[in-house]
Structure 1
Amino acid sequence: MQLTSPAFAHDSSIPARYTCDGDNINPPLVIAGVPEQAVSLVLIMDDPDVPSHLRADGMWDHWVVYNIPPGVRTVAENSEPPGVPGQGTAGNRKYYGPCPPDREHRYFFKLFALDCELELAAGASKAQVEEAMAGHIMAQAELMGRYDRRNR
């Protein structure tokens, strides 16, 4: 399975348009190679580089969407994929763009193909989604982008 974006390459800079310094909209995403037997998809975007004085676990969850239909092949710029919105660290239920407070951070867009739909109400946390999908992951893909507000 693959997750790519026409807006930036893996391990390269995320354009400011998709951050708190720009329009704070999601970048376009392209999904390929979803297993035919997949029942649902999960999309998570997180930042593991948060200073420990802000978050003890060093993690910020920017975007969580689950029970995405397995036939979805694109997420258009400035749109939410069909599915159930989870809740990010800021209490958001939609995309929340990069906004690192100190230096360059890495942002991981993670896609999971599951053999089931998750029995979770809207607004579930990333931790709840990860717990529910344990043992149900058929395939996964990752796209990582970087952003540093000092270089915009």
Structure 2
Amino acid sequence: MAVSLTRPLAPDPYSLLPVVPSFTLSSDDLRDGERLPDRHAAPPNANVSPHLHWEGFPRETRSFLVTAFDPDAPGPSGWWHWVVVDLPVTTTTLDRGAGALHTDDLPPGAFHLRGDDGVTGYVGAAPPPGDREHRYFFVVHALDVEHTTVGPQTMPGAAACGATFHTIARALLVATYQR
């Protein structure tokens, strides 16, 4: 018996969190609501993290957490593709490719967590072939602390959960992808 991958669209995961003010997230690579370019998808594509830039966050912001999450992945918990922790408040841009392993593109003190695939750094879109279109939430969380209490071995979901209690504003951009 074949398993059907057709299932209802998952809810917007951020609509389930406490309401916080928003700010602006833009990208030279992504457009909100549009298809993610192939170069930002997982191998055999280039698997390059997109350029992200944010502005208009609250004056009280002390640091940022950046995430890329697919709530439409098979299974009940979605899939974490990228988590960058402890970005200083002076950082308002991640250049294209900043999610690469062993990169010096992150400011001192900031670091990548392992995504759900076990890789530290960015892993691009990889919905199962033939599955419906997936949404990829690229999110910048403005935090009220300079440093989170997570370490490099922290699981992405745990980092996101902990950040919820320190998020004072949030910016998001949603791209889609289907194979």
Same topology, TM > 0.5: yes
- In the TM superposition, what whole-angstrom CA distance separates every residue of 1:89-140 from its partner, at most 9, and x where no partner exists? 0011100000110231110011101111211111311222123223211110
Other-structure match for 1:36: 59
Deviates more, 1:73-82 or 1:108-117: 73-82
Query: In 2, Cα distance between the equivalents of 1:8 and 1:89?
Result: 22
Q: Helix, strand or coil: the match of 2:142? A: strand
Shift of 1:36: 2.3
- In the TM superposition, what whole-angstrom CA distance separates every residue of 1:39-90 from its partner, at most 9, and x where no partner exists? 1100110101112xxx3x1401000111111111211111134312222100
Shift of 1:8: 2.2
Question: 5+ residue gaps in structure 1?
Answer: none
Other-structure match for 2:26: 4
Larger strand percent: 1
Query: In 2, Cα distance between the equivalents of 1:41 and 1:15?
Result: 25
What amino acid is aligned across from residue 170 of structure 2 in structure 1?
A: Q
Contact 1:34 1:70 in 2 (8 A): no
Question: 5+ residue gaps in structure 2?
Answer: 1-22, 100-105
Query: In 1, Cα distance between the equivalents of 2:123 and 2:84?
Result: 12
**1:106 corresponds to 2:135:** yes
Identity %: 31
What amino acid is aligned across from residue 18 of structure 1 in structure 2?
A: H
Other-structure match for 1:148: 178
What amino acid is aligned across from residue 71 of structure 2 in structure 1?
A: P
Other-structure match for 1:61: 80
Other-structure match for 1:26: 49
Other-structure match for 1:95: 122
What amino acid is aligned across from residue 48 of structure 1 in structure 2?
A: P
Shift of 1:12: 0.3
Superposition RMSD in Å:
1.4
What amino acid is aligned across from residue 42 of structure 1 in structure 2?
A: L
Q: How many residues align?
A: 145
What amino acid is aligned across from residue 118 of structure 1 in structure 2?
A: T
What amino acid is aligned across from residue 159 of structure 2 in structure 1?
A: V
Query: In 2, Cα distance between the equivalents of 1:85 and 1:69?
Result: 14
Other-structure match for 2:18: none
Contact 1:85 1:123 in 2 (8 A): no
Query: In 1, Cα distance between the equivalents of 2:65 and 2:134?
Result: 23
Query: In 2, Cα distance between the equivalents of 1:41 and 1:95?
Result: 17
Q: Helix, strand or coil: the match of 2:28? A: coil
